[in-house]
Structure 1
Amino acid sequence: MFELTSLHWIFTLFIVLIVIAMMMRRDTSIICIIGIFLIGYMAKGTINQAIIGIFNSFVYALNELSGTILIISLIVAMSKALLYTGVNEIMVEPFARAIRTPSMAYWIIGVFMMTISWFFWPSPAAALMGAVLLPVGLRVGLPAMGVAASMNLFGHGIALSSDWVIQGAPKLTSAAAGIPVQDVVNASVPLILVMGLVTVSVAYWILKRDIEKGRLSIEKDTVLIHSSDSLDEVAAFPLATRAKKWLAAMVLILFGIDVAVMVSFNLRGGDATALIGGTAILIMIIIVLVAHKGKGIEQATNYLVEGFKFGITVFGPVIPIAAFFYLGDSGFVTIFGKVLPLDSQGLVNDLGLVMAQNVSISPVIGAFTIMIVGIITGLDGSGFSGISLVGSLAKLFSVSIGSGTATLTALGQIAAIFTGGGTLVPWSLIAVAAICNVNPFELARRNLLPVMAGLIVTTVVAIFLL
């Protein structure tokens, strides 16, 4: 039986401290940095190596998040070009005519996001949909936080945890469980329906309550409405309505071509995100050159600078906490070397494994244990890193129970990806939060009750299916 080391206990202690701080709405950066220092000291035995570990952990986190930072910055640069030239008004008109109420906006935006995420995964979907759908939601009275919650729960929650089209997640879990991929997909259908319905319904109820009580309102300082001294000259070059219509059509056509290319060349995940990011740069350049006439070259740089300023501002508070939690997975070996026991699967996965080893197995206990282990393995902010462990444990538990390998595997997959893929870990949902210009920590807090309610109800349903 695997035994936890002092490194595991320190990591666990700081997870608890971070969660408590977040619940108290306090900043967690210093807690994370102290945690990294202590883990580094225990791992290497010297203060100087622990201090070096703090810096290296930040570098590691920045490298891991760099693609997301870049796509957000480029989308923001393009969005500012659309805003200041008035092209965005032309683009959202058709959607605004179809979506007339905040409730319609919440559900329609969510379904759009979920559908596209099934085919291209949520990060490129968020970049593709956010710039167009956020202004629509704001126009009909849905606060930016409501748009973000809808996109996040439907995309990074329902679509990513089911992954019925690309089947990246089911392939990992089914391989670990030793069963066919289709068995996991089939078993996930009733669980995803329950999880999705409960989660988005509870989130909608909370959102509607907060709007009615005035706790949420239309934010006037969203990413599409920020002003900037470096862009003041835009007003000197107003675009005619005809030019705006041509540019709006160009934007929709280019992104439509992106979708066709993704389908034709089977582009997914990072490749799909890169395609959208590159297209956003081209759109921004074309709009700026048309709108600013002789000064387009200089203004293009200003838009890019504004986009990168926003990206760094949003991601700055996230890097320390991400740096800490990346130590729970492969980041530990990269930063501190191979000092964990040889049979270790990473700090986070080890904690889940020890918990599973010390629990007596029955259908009820087995299902709830798989759900909790899934949550624990999702704390690293990936969602995918721990699902192989979940699949292995599901196979082990099903032997003791006598059935239910596929059901337990699907349940663990849903718990891990809903947590870390993600709707509860701030740095994993930051793509949506940044595009909607809401605080990622507040979005994670808003998602907590709906997601936990969904996981509990889904686990109960899974018990009856075992």
Structure 2
Amino acid sequence: MSITAAHWIYCIMVLVILGFMLARKETIIPCIVGVFLIGLVAKGSISGAARAIFDSFIVAGIELISVIMIISVIVAMAKLLEEIGANYLMAAPIAKIIKTPDAAFFTIGIVMLLASWFFWPSPATALIGAVLLPVAIRVGLPVIGFAVAMNIFGHGIGLSTDFIIQGAPTITATSGGVPVVDVMYEGIPLYVVMAVVTVSTSYIILKKDIKTGNIVKPQVEMYSVENTIKHPKIAKWAAILVPILFLLDIAAMFAFDLVGGDATALVGGTAVIVLCVLCVSLYKKEALEKIAEYIKKGFAFGMEIFGPILPIAGFFYLGEVGPFTTVFGDFLPEGSMGILSDMGLLLASSVALSKPIAAILETAVGAITGLDGSGFSGMNLAGSIAKVFGTAINVNIARLCALGQIAAIWTGGGTIIPWAVIPVAAITGIKPADIARKNLLPVIIGFVVTTIVAIFIL
């Protein structure tokens, strides 16, 4: 596989952008510069490079539209539930269990983990966040702590294991040439180590930040935590029926095998139906005008959150072969798997193999391919490399697959890449970069410890 100038420009700009992130600077301009420079190489003209910038925005918008929509309609529904006080009533049973910030952190995390196993993190984030955020605020858990708990347990542990839906292990197992059950079973020690280390480190850092006052304040205050019930009868029925409807959604996901985008669509459609029914019940003749107001509020919030994300995501999506081809045409060499996958293969083929090297490279390749903010796009490569490494040095291929899966998902699935944490950022109103920065150290420590453990058990 030949490496082009576009590959090197992309990788250099990734390092530049990560430097800006670590310096707590906005990364929109570096991302735009990166697209422009690749455009100069791929298109061969300034006008072509300029067009590529806008095209990258379009690609990012297409990739993110489902997340923008689900967040917007859930927020629209939540605004109405908040106005009538139904959100307070829905949170009341859980509030009886959660009495302290510590209990809030772990209870919210565990609930998010279970929900993510059953219907994946994005729809789980929208549902759980809308109900439990007021509870967390009320007992003193900082909003950033709430966001970290949702990310680490849901997008980290839940999505990287994926025991119920089995989307992630199926991809890596198929590429690695091993049974899916082997990736899940043999990977349990690695999943457990990664979970324990990241959760413990996140919790310790959060406690330290609370003690020292070093807490990032939320940029948007979304939900009231006061007991204000304006329409008691309707609020009571809404507090009962809304959870029941979403539980029925979960049952439907199982019954009809709905996952990913289909599951998100079901949740979003249910939210719109709830919004319509409540508007008609509350406002009668004024319902037609009122529902427009709530939809406008929801989508205004969605665009406020996602607007700055599109230029950033537009650059990083170019690491995948599909978006790159959409923006730049057939510039990549024949047989290319995308810039990130190509660079991962180059790295893997440049080093002599041993158990430690195989484990380190598997983690590195998984993390590199996760930089596009997907997590899933690089798992085929992670599984393929695990098969090559495992066969070459006679180690456990399934465990190598699990290690690559962990690195890809924890990086790109929604914990340390700003454009991947946007569902949680949207619900909490915190800047995505702030959440990613708070997750960064725990996840890196988790990678190091998990890779060390993998070296001894391969």
TM-score, reference length from structure 1: 0.95
Equivalent in the alignment of 1:231: none
Equivalent in the alignment of 2:351: 359
Whether the 8 Å CA contact 1:374–1:413 is kept in 2: the answer is yes
Give the counterpart of 2:374 among 370, 379, 382.
382
**Which stretch shows the higher mean deviation, 281-290 or 132-141?**
281-290
Map 1:192-341 onto structure 2 (within 5 A): 192-216=191-215, 221-225=220-224, 239-329=230-320, 330-341=322-333
CA distance in 2, matches of 1:220, 1:377: 31
Whether the 8 Å CA contact 2:173–2:180 is kept in 1: the answer is yes
**Which stretch shows the higher mean deviation, 348-357 or 338-347?**
338-347
Whether the 8 Å CA contact 1:106–1:142 is kept in 2: the answer is yes
Whether the 8 Å CA contact 1:99–1:105 is kept in 2: the answer is yes
Equivalent in the alignment of 2:91: 92
Query: How far apart are residue 290 of structure 1 and its match?
Result: 2.8
CA distance in 1, matches of 2:75, 2:253: 22
CA distance in 1, matches of 2:368, 2:127: 31
Identical-residue share of aligned pairs (%): 50
- Equivalent position SS for 1:422: coil
Map 1:46-57 onto structure 2 (within 5 A): 46-57=45-56
Cα deviation 1:107-163 (Å, max 9, x = unaligned): 111111111111111111112211111111111111221111111111110111111
Aligned residue pairs total 455
Query: How far apart are residue 295 of structure 1 and its match?
Result: 2.3
Query: How far apart are residue 338 of structure 1 and its match?
Result: 1.2
AA aligned to 1:287 is: L
- Equivalent position SS for 1:301: helix
Map 1:14-25 onto structure 2 (within 5 A): 14-25=13-24
Query: How far apart are residue 289 of structure 1 and its match?
Result: 2.7
Query: How far apart are residue 341 of structure 1 and its match?
Result: 1.1
Equivalent in the alignment of 2:421: 429
Whether the 8 Å CA contact 1:85–1:291 is kept in 2: the answer is no
Query: How far apart are residue 304 of structure 1 and its match?
Result: 0.7
Whether the 8 Å CA contact 2:84–2:231 is kept in 1: the answer is no
CA distance in 1, matches of 2:216, 2:396: 46
- Equivalent position SS for 1:26: coil
Map 1:117-196 onto structure 2 (within 5 A): 117-196=116-195
Whether the 8 Å CA contact 2:220–2:430 is kept in 1: the answer is no
Map 1:29-40 onto structure 2 (within 5 A): 29-40=28-39
- Equivalent position SS for 1:17: helix
Query: How far apart are residue 215 of structure 1 and its match?
Result: 2.0
CA distance in 1, matches of 2:391, 2:89: 59
Does structure 1 residue 448 correspond to structure 2 residue 440?
Answer: yes
Whether the 8 Å CA contact 1:362–1:400 is kept in 2: the answer is no
Whether the 8 Å CA contact 2:218–2:429 is kept in 1: the answer is no
Whether the 8 Å CA contact 2:81–2:235 is kept in 1: the answer is no
Query: How far apart are residue 13 of structure 1 and its match?
Result: 0.9
**Backbone CA RMSD of aligned residues:** 1.6
Equivalent in the alignment of 1:229: none
Query: How far apart are residue 221 of structure 1 and its match?
Result: 4.4
Whether the 8 Å CA contact 1:239–1:291 is kept in 2: the answer is no
Whether the 8 Å CA contact 2:219–2:431 is kept in 1: the answer is no
Cα deviation 1:397-434 (Å, max 9, x = unaligned): 12232212111111001000110012111111101111
**Which stretch shows the higher mean deviation, 90-99 or 62-71?**
90-99
Whether the 8 Å CA contact 1:191–1:458 is kept in 2: the answer is yes
Whether the 8 Å CA contact 2:190–2:454 is kept in 1: the answer is yes
- Equivalent position SS for 2:335: coil
Unaligned runs of 5+ in 2: none
CA distance in 1, matches of 2:325, 2:217: 45
Query: How far apart are residue 294 of structure 1 and its match?
Result: 3.6
Cα deviation 1:301-339 (Å, max 9, x = unaligned): 111101111100101111111000111102101111111
Equivalent in the alignment of 2:398: 406
**Which consecutive segments of 4 or more residues in structure 1 shift more than 4 A?**
217-221
Query: How far apart are residue 253 of structure 1 and its match?
Result: 1.8
- Equivalent position SS for 1:43: helix
Give the counterpart of 1:458 among 450, 454, 457.
450
Whether the 8 Å CA contact 1:390–1:412 is kept in 2: the answer is yes
Cα deviation 1:228-278 (Å, max 9, x = unaligned): xxxxxxx9xx73423321221121221122122112212111111111111
AA aligned to 1:346 is: G
Equivalent in the alignment of 2:361: 369
TM-score, reference length from structure 2: 0.96
